[in-house]
């Protein structure tokens, strides 16, 4: 797979007046201004841009002074690492001084400011992320590898993968996420890179669960993370992060999602790979943890598609797809109309209908029994029929 790469990028986000004003603030004072990293990569691929980052040779204090001088708002969000957020037109722009790593411990780095773009590029993670673009869109590849690797769908660490990983062990997880999103699937994984990852897997133990959680959920939100997750499992990384997990159901789940017309949902995919509660390992919110638990519980149950639709609404489709994946049976799209039918039903009996023949806990028990009878009838029994057939307390 080789994609043609343009020599320049011209996207609305980069050419927006507010963003160009930040660049002009720097270049007008004789400094460099380069769009860098993900925004350049995504612009070259023609996909929507995320954050727009700008690299410069200006020191943070100078960036703040220049911003104030032209009426922009500088915020020292990461000044210790050289980053000033410059608010222009209500839009935040992260402006970071060229840097080089002085010392790293696998979680955080001590950096020194640099003078040249090549030094800044060399400290980044992957070659396809070490791309820069001038304010006019002209693309620069300081290390001479990023463009060709991006065009070939080849994900590589810059220079020595072992050293890059030791600088920040989170790069192991970033590698799998980026591979799932940008790499050529047919080319597979680079053996030397996988060897470096395996040799440094213990470094993941020292990362915060929040950072791990962000990477895992982002990976699972990609279009098809199954090959990456399977490789993580083969290297022992998946169970290191998520005890009791396995990739077996993920591929069938993704196939079922496509058949059911579902968009990727990392929570359902996490439910597919985790037999144990992943909330502590990934520092999930209570809401996400509860949803994952509910998905697994109901997928393991025996409720009919119609009942799942009645009790869960649109979530029933995910449950049905997950159930098929976990039980290793083909997903049956004929269950979708049944779930949709159930989702539109309203139980016609209320507690008031059962008074005064029932009281206390007996009302709840009778409501439950009548509801089950109503569901079993395919929602055909109406209020009159249900009450007529009820003979009252025994």
**Average pLDDT value for residue range 341-358:** 91
Task: Calculate the CA 312 to chain-centre distance.
Answer: 24
C-alpha distances in Å from residue 285, one per residue of 174, 210, 213, 231, 292: 22, 11, 10, 27, 11
**Average pLDDT value for residue range 108-134:** 89
Whether the per-residue pLDDT at 346 is higher than 90: the answer is yes
Higher-scoring residue by pLDDT: 77, 295: 295
- At 30-68, the pLDDT tens digits run 999 999 999 999 999 999 998 899 999 999 999 999 999
Whether the per-residue pLDDT at 106 is higher than 60: the answer is no
Structure confidence at residue 393 as a pLDDT band (50, 70, 90): low
Q: Write down the domain spans for the chain.
A: 1-154, 347-389
HEC profile of 149-216: HHHHCCCCECCCHHHHHHHECHHHHHHHHHHHHHCCHHHCCCHHHHHHHHHCHHHHHHCCHHHHHHHH
Q: Which residues contact 118 (CB under 8 A, 6 or more apart)?
A: 142, 143
Whether the per-residue pLDDT at 259 is higher than 60: the answer is yes
Specify the pLDDT at position 150.
Answer: 95
Specify the pLDDT at position 288.
Answer: 97
Whether the per-residue pLDDT at 111 is higher than 90: the answer is no
CATH number 1.10.3720.10 given to 1-154: no
Report the percent of the chain where pLDDT is more than 70. 96
Average pLDDT, the chain: 93
Place of tokens 């509910």: 294
Higher-scoring residue by pLDDT: 182, 392: 182
**Average pLDDT value for residue range 200-224:** 97
From the list 101, 120, 99, 123, the residue with the least C-alpha distance to 110 is 101
C-alpha distances in Å from residue 355, one per residue of 262, 281, 362, 386: 43, 49, 10, 14
Specify the pLDDT at position 254.
Answer: 98
Structure confidence at residue 1 as a pLDDT band (50, 70, 90): low
**Average pLDDT value for residue range 209-216:** 97
């Amino acid at each position: 797979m080789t994609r043609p790469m343009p020599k320049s990028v011209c996207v609305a986000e980069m050419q927006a007046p507010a963003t160009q004003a930040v660049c002009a603030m720097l270049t007008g004072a004789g400094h460099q201004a380069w769009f860098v990293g993900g925004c350049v990569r995504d612009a070259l691929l023609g996909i929507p841009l995320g954050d727009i980052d700008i690299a410069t040779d200006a020191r943070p204090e100078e960036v703040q002074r220049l911003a104030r001088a032209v009426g922009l708002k500088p915020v020292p969000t990461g000044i210790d690492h050289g980053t000033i957020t410059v608010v222009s037109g209500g839009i935040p722009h992260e402006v970071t001084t060229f840097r080089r790593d002085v010392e790293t411990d696998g979680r955080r780095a001590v950096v020194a400011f640099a003078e040249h773009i090549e030094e800044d590029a060399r400290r980044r993670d992957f070659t396809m992320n070490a791309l820069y673009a001038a304010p006019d869109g002209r693309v620069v590849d300081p290390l001479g590898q990023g463009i060709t690797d991006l065009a070939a769908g080849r994900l590589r660490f810059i220079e020595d993968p072992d050293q890059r990983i030791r600088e920040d062990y989170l790069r192991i997880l970033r590698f799998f996420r980026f591979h799932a999103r940008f790499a050529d699937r047919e080319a597979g994984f680079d053996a030397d890179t996988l060897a470096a990852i395996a040799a440094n897997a213990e470094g993941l133990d020292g990362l915060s669960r929040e950072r791990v959680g962000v990477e895992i959920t982002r990976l699972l939100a990609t279009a098809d993370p199954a090959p990456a997750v399977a490789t993580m499992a083969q290297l022992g990384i998946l169970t290191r992060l998520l005890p009791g997990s396995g990739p077996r159901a993920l591929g069938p789940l993704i196939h079922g999602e496509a058949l059911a017309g579902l968009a990727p949902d990392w929570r359902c995919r996490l439910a597919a790979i985790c037999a144990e509660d992943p909330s502590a390992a990934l520092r999930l919110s209570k809401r996400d943890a509860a949803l994952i638990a509910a998905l697994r519980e109901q997928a393991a149950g025996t409720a009919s598609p119609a009942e799942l639709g009645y009790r869960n609404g649109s979530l029933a489709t995910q449950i049905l797809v997950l159930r098929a994946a976990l039980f290793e049976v083909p997903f049956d799209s004929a269950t979708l109309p049944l779930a949709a039918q159930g989702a539109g039903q309203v139980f016609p009996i209320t507690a008031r209908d059962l008074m005064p023949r029932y009281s206390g806990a007996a009302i709840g028990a009778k409501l439950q029994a009548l509801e089950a009878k109503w569901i079993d009838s395919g929602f055909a029994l109406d209020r009159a029929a249900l009450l007529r057939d009820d003979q009252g307390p025994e």
